[in-house]
Amino acid sequence: MTVHHLDTLLLMFSLVLLIAVVAVRLSSRSGLPSLLLYLGIGVALGQDGFGIRFDNASLTQVLGYAALVVILAEGGLGTKWTDIRPAVPAAAVLATVGTGVSVGVTALGAHLLVGADWRLSLLLGAIVSSTDAAAVFSVLRRVPLPPRLSGLLEAESGFNDAPVVILVVAFATTRPVESWYELLGSISLELAIGLVVGLLVGKLGSLALRDIALPSSGLYPIAVVALTLFAYAGGALMHGSGFLAVYVSAVFLGNARLPHGPATRGFAEGLAWIAQISMFVLLGLLVNPHTLVDAIVPALVVGLVLVFLARPLSVLVTMTPFGMVWREQALLSWAGLRGAVPIVLATIPVVANVPGAERLFNTVFLLVVVFTLVQGPTLPWVARRLRIGDPAHADLLDVESAPLERLHGHLLSLSLAPGSRLAGVEISELRLPRGAAVTLVVRDGASFVPAPTTVLRPSDDLLVVSTDEVRDRVERRLRAVDRGGKLAGWLGERSEY
């Protein structure tokens, strides 16, 4: 590697990123999932396109794991605990028992309808039964689902990578699994270790960062992302589930009201976009289109079994005890999107030299492409047909906090989003706790010190100063008024103030 090689590599990498950014714009307008465009870029650059030869499945697996860690971290940091908390028990059952049902039904279909041997059938069932966090998170940003369903989908996609990775590694290893209870015990132990590590890193990390005034605001996002990576590595080195650890720690840190929270989420989102683009392009490079012909029929058959039988059955078995009605179950079944995770997992048997692994990889690749193309764009339509949606549901108010350590105070900044019920409220009607005050309003590019009778308008930016003692109460009060208006706390909206 010379400086000239570095120049060429950076030129290609920057061009790919710029093309991918434009592809995101096109996909947002057309409804076409962006992951397909990224895969297309990789295929176009590959052996059957521009002629770049790349067949290193082992490197792809390693880089794919790294990208999944970043994607899960970003998803966890952006997950609101208030949304997923009611859905956690159901999501845990769906991510474990439901995944097991899906693996079994898909493997049976592959064995009976495609003629694959049991080992390849079980591998195929395990690989494609995991929903993809990146695909689910991106779709949920466009489809206004009720918090109960969106929280369940977010939690499931964050949880189910862990058991599926364990299953794929177990089925791909040369040492056969001795018994089902040995495998079940191994999965339970790894999940328990990952959960504990994630909680510990999240709790200790939030305590350390909450009141520390770092010399630069840019250090907070770096520290938070580093903690999530530490959780993954710690969980994996302790023979636990690193994927569960990184997601749990990210959820904890993302809901800890750390300083510069929106900036941290923006930083993590940027890293996740780079990880997604790089991973999909690399996976596209690994595929040779001329070898996919033999995998077309198996991919379609197994995909139909997965989408129309295995996924609905797993949802029916696991969600009925939680009182979920058939319309919600139907949407949950259709929203089980696949993405990069199955393709990355398909590299595991290739690296392990499992007989038939190359055809298995091609089958998974085609399955993901075809059924993501079908399910992703049609999910909003399916939600409307099932009369499930929450157009009025808006994200909670983003409040960014910066500690003023020497002054024993905090500086809170927030922007009024369209539809916020803070608009139309006078400063005095906010009824902030004693020890807090709105010190500055920025409106139409001009800033001014508000009077008690100043009425807030949409798109206003506010600067609020509070003492350490009342910071949390101030933030809760602002969020309550954002949701319930000036009468929050009197007409059922809890302000906890």
Tens of pLDDT, residue by residue over 203-223, are: 999 988 876 777 777 888 999
Over residues 411-421, the mean pLDDT reads: 83
**Higher pLDDT pick, 171 / 483:** 171
Please report the DSSP string for 121-187 in residue order: HHHHHHHHTSPPHHHHHHHHTTS---HHHHHHHHHHHHHTHHHHHHHHHHHHSSS----HHHHHHHH
Over residues 133-140, the mean pLDDT reads: 63
φ/ψ of residue 400, rounded to 5: -95, 130
SS3 state at 357: helix
- Spatial contact of 251 and 79, defined as CB atoms under 8 Å apart: yes
- Spatial contact of 276 and 35, defined as CB atoms under 8 Å apart: yes
Q: Is the pLDDT of residue 235 over 50?
A: yes
SS3 state at 411: strand
| pLDDT tens-digit series, residues 435-479 | 899 999 999 889 999 999 999 998 899 999 998 888 888 888 888
Structure tokens at 167: 């299953």
Strands, DSSP E only, in 262-359? Answer: none
- Spatial contact of 148 and 81, defined as CB atoms under 8 Å apart: no
Upper half-sphere CA count for residue 397 (Cβ side, 13 Å): 30
At residue 137, the pLDDT reads: 60
At residue 84, the pLDDT reads: 81
Q: Is the pLDDT of residue 396 over 60?
A: no
Instruction: Report, in this order, helix, strand and coil percent for the chain, each rounded to 5.
Output: 65, 5, 25
Over residues 313-322, the mean pLDDT reads: 93
Q: What does the alpha-carbon distance between residue 311 and residue 487 come to, in Å, rounded to a whole number?
A: 44
At residue 492, the pLDDT reads: 43
Compute how many other C-beta atoms are within 10 angstroms of the C-beta atom of residue 194.
28
Q: Is the pLDDT of residue 242 over 80?
A: yes
At residue 496, the pLDDT reads: 44
SS3 state at 256: coil
pLDDT band at 79 (very low <50, low <70, confident <90, very high): confident
Q: Mean pLDDT for the chain? A: 83
Angle of CA points 259, 276, 233, to nearest 5°: 60
At residue 33, the pLDDT reads: 63
At residue 153, the pLDDT reads: 83
Whether CATH 2.60.40.10 fits 399-484: no
At residue 302, the pLDDT reads: 94
Q: Is the pLDDT of residue 485 over 70?
A: yes
Q: What does the alpha-carbon distance between residue 4 and residue 230 come to, in Å, rounded to a whole number?
A: 34
Beta carbons within 8 Å of 425's beta carbon, 6+ residues apart:
455, 456, 481, 485, 486
**Which residue type, as a one-letter code, is found at position 188?**
S
Structure tokens at 406: 């020497």
Strands, DSSP E only, in 362-445? Answer: 399-404, 409-415, 436-443
pLDDT band at 176 (very low <50, low <70, confident <90, very high): low
Strand partners, 464: 412, 438
Rg of the chain on CA atoms, in Å: 24
At residue 497, the pLDDT reads: 41
| pLDDT tens-digit series, residues 324-354 | 899 989 988 988 888 778 888 899 999 988 8
pLDDT band at 180 (very low <50, low <70, confident <90, very high): low
Over residues 171-188, the mean pLDDT reads: 72
Location of each CATH 3.30.70.1450 domain in the chain: 399-484
Q: Is the pLDDT of residue 142 over 70?
A: no
- Residue 211 is classified by DSSP as S
Q: What does the alpha-carbon distance between residue 370 and residue 343 come to, in Å, rounded to a whole number?
A: 13
Over residues 160-173, the mean pLDDT reads: 84
pLDDT band at 253 (very low <50, low <70, confident <90, very high): very high
- Residue 96 is classified by DSSP as I
At residue 143, the pLDDT reads: 64
Q: What does the alpha-carbon distance between residue 456 and residue 362 come to, in Å, rounded to a whole number?
A: 57
Q: What does the alpha-carbon distance between residue 463 and residue 444 come to, in Å, rounded to a whole number?
A: 15
Report the share of the chain in percent with pLDDT over 90: 27
Beta carbons within 8 Å of 248's beta carbon, 6+ residues apart:
76, 194, 195, 198, 199, 202, 231
**Which residue type, as a one-letter code, is found at position 296?**
I
Angle of CA points 162, 95, 73, to nearest 5°: 50
Helix (H) or strand (E) holding 354: none
At residue 231, the pLDDT reads: 95
**Over the range 375-402, which residues count as b (16 or more CB within 10 Å of their CB) and which as e?**
bbeebbebbeeeebbeeeeeeebebbbb
Q: Is the pLDDT of residue 135 over 70?
A: no
Upper half-sphere CA count for residue 350 (Cβ side, 13 Å): 23
Instruction: Assign domain 32-385 one CATH number from 1.20.1440.60, 1.20.1530.20, 3.40.50.300, 3.40.50.720.
Output: 1.20.1530.20
| pLDDT tens-digit series, residues 101-127 | 999 999 999 999 998 898 899 999 999
Q: Which of 285, 72, 233, 270 is nearest to 159 (CA)?
A: 72
**Higher pLDDT pick, 317 / 256:** 317
pLDDT band at 307 (very low <50, low <70, confident <90, very high): very high
Residue given tokens 């605001």 in the structure block? 217
pLDDT band at 82 (very low <50, low <70, confident <90, very high): confident
User: Residue 488: is it exposed, middle or buried by C-beta count within 10 angstroms (0-12/13-18/19+)?
Assistant: buried
At residue 480, the pLDDT reads: 84
- Residue 454 is classified by DSSP as P
Q: Is the pLDDT of residue 494 over 50?
A: no
φ/ψ of residue 357, rounded to 5: -70, -35
Q: Is the pLDDT of residue 392 over 60?
A: no
At residue 177, the pLDDT reads: 55
Beta carbons within 8 Å of 170's beta carbon, 6+ residues apart:
177, 183, 186
Over residues 399-415, the mean pLDDT reads: 75
